[in-house]
Structure 1
């Protein structure tokens, strides 16, 4: 299989602190991730001032502020984007950001980004999807909270705007932080692939790394996982994120799975070919056998190594006459 694209979702885990944001880029690069991704939005264009927080946001950030107030503290300005893009370039990792509105899409395009991602909440935002289709070379669509019909409608918008299906990757996702294991429904990723003939991946909000690794074993070509420097930091997404060491472990596990998936052709591997004669058996004399004596179940036995007549030829050998004398444990010949 081709290399899985691993996205370290820094998101809003920078908490509005540029030093923390740069350290997240460092951690993503050092983990072996391919992309570090932030979020680009303006609270004024994203939510009303009275919009309620999600339950998980109340749990992680308290109920004293609105969703608008929380998001206002987490905005990245254009100059902040310049700083982070430059730092990612220095660290040798691709910079990406999820735009949550059309103006933010234009901002990212002006910064030179070619790969864009539809967040789960925007999959039904038609003007937004059309604007992204005008700007993106490659599109990743997250599908948390979505039905198959909604996914199909979004793909159709991109295709109608000139984005070929081969340039679209659809991520299965459960929009809850953290996502309960019983609601992951990882098999839905394959349903998406079968239904639309697109490349698929998984945006993981579960605790731990096992679901992301399992997704790769099931055919995911993109894995997205939240990254934080400390799960105990204040902020809405830290609790559902991986710290640098487990994130690194996830990357290593995914790279191992890539190798382990290998070829669909069943046959002995190069290392097995060396072991095959040692582990297999051959037909040998169970005792001394005289020339002309009939081979029987009492004077023939199968023993290692497997460099002589295979025991699968047992019926062919039993009942025939020995062509010569055989010593005990000597390979038989016909």
Structure 2
């Protein structure tokens, strides 16, 4: 099984290098120039795609101070949902500028729509794919609506159990999605590596028959790199110019050097995993001469028997392979053999 999807002309699957997505999220901190600089930095780091989020505070929640709408604990403790989203959202009138700049810089851009109007906007802008965020994986009507746009979808599975993931996949398929990627995810900000249970990746791929990947909220790249060895075809990481920038997501995002290392190391890991191959590798060819082989260790006059005293298995490897040692013992030299000569079949009788 080698499922594959194509986003903006780039194939995504096990036989392709990992597809690295830099998540801009709220790291523009309300500054369009900052958002444009993040796109530039993602290009320079080697990312395949840049993802944004398309919502407003009013499309996500209501403006209320009631206890249900207050955040308790974590990075955003004490804030209301409306207040957080009002700070973090990417203004919709920026979208056309952001998409145009990404196109100019040669990087794919798409977004996570959080309601139908957001999906409509992104479709009008020509977004080549859609991402369903982990918190929306249970919003089956939204998934069906987005699937109806007929473009590839990526669904993050943070907090979702197996049944909920299955329902999301079914909704996407029923809505018309033909190209689907699932991202294993832990929706902690940041998330501890031990929560990721990367063994889930292979199981998810087998169960759902789609390319799988990792939405990684850990503070380093270890889990992401390990996931590539376990079959992840997509890696998504939050990305910022400065972890100390003060924005809602800055503190758990990669900085440019970290993203550069992720892009490099994920591809090196993919190369290292490769395919099943027991043959001689190109880097080994020059070293075959240092294997053991059969050599004359004492002069052997013509007609003299070959014995353990005059032939040994030693380095280098220009003589007969050591597996022939028992076969040549007891045979006779067909010519005078000198100490230090490799033994060949032409040198023995029989």
Fold shared, TM-score > 0.5 on shorter chain: yes
Map of 1:11 onto structure 2: 25
Preserved contact between residue 305 and residue 332 of structure 2 (Cα < 8 Å) = yes
Distance in 1 (alpha carbons) for counterparts of 2:236 and 2:267: 14
Paired residue secondary structure (1:203) = strand
The corresponding residue for 2:305 is 294
Please list, as runs of the form range in 1=range in 2, the aligned pairs for 1:43-58 lying within 5 A after superposition: 43-50=57-64, 51-53=69-71, 55-58=73-76
| Number of aligned residue pairs | 327
- 1:227 & 1:139 partners in 2: Cα distance? 21
Residue 54 to residue 272, structure 1, CA distance change in 2 (3 Å):
farther
- Distance in 2 between the 1:145 and 1:136 partners? 26
- Check whether the contact 1:115–1:136 (CA below 8 A) recurs between aligned residues: no
User: Which stretches in structure 1 are left out of the alignment for 5+ residues?
Assistant: none
Aligned partner of 2:262 in structure 1 is: 250
Q: Could you tell me how far apart the structure 2 residues matched to 1:223 and 1:135 are?
A: 24
State yes or no: 1:222 paired with 2:240: no
Give the aligned partner of residue 20 of structure 1. Answer: 34
Deviation digits for residues 225-253 of structure 1 (CA, Å, limit 9, x no counterpart): 11011111212211111110111111111
Q: Distance in 2 between matches of 1:198 and 1:54?
A: 36
Q: Partner of 1:329 in structure 2?
A: 340
Q: C-alpha separation between the residues in 2 aligned to 1:256 and 1:312? A: 37
Q: Counterparts of 1:139-218 in structure 2 under 5 Å?
A: 139-164=153-178, 167-218=179-230
Which string of whole-angstrom CA distances, capped at 9 and with x for unpartnered residues, describes residues 99-130 of structure 1? 11121111111111130011001111011011
Aligned: 1:103 with 2:117: yes
CA distance in 2, matches of 1:43, 1:136: 27
TM-score normalised by length of structure 2: 0.90
2:273 & 2:203 partners in 1: Cα distance? 20
Using the TM superposition, give the Cα deviation of residue 70 of structure 1 relative to its aligned residue in structure 2, in angstroms. 1.5
C-alpha distance in 2 between matches for 1:315 and 1:279: 21
Contact 2:214–2:224 (Cα < 8 Å) also in 1: yes
Structure 1's consecutive aligned runs of 4 or more residues displaced over 4 angstroms after TM superposition are none
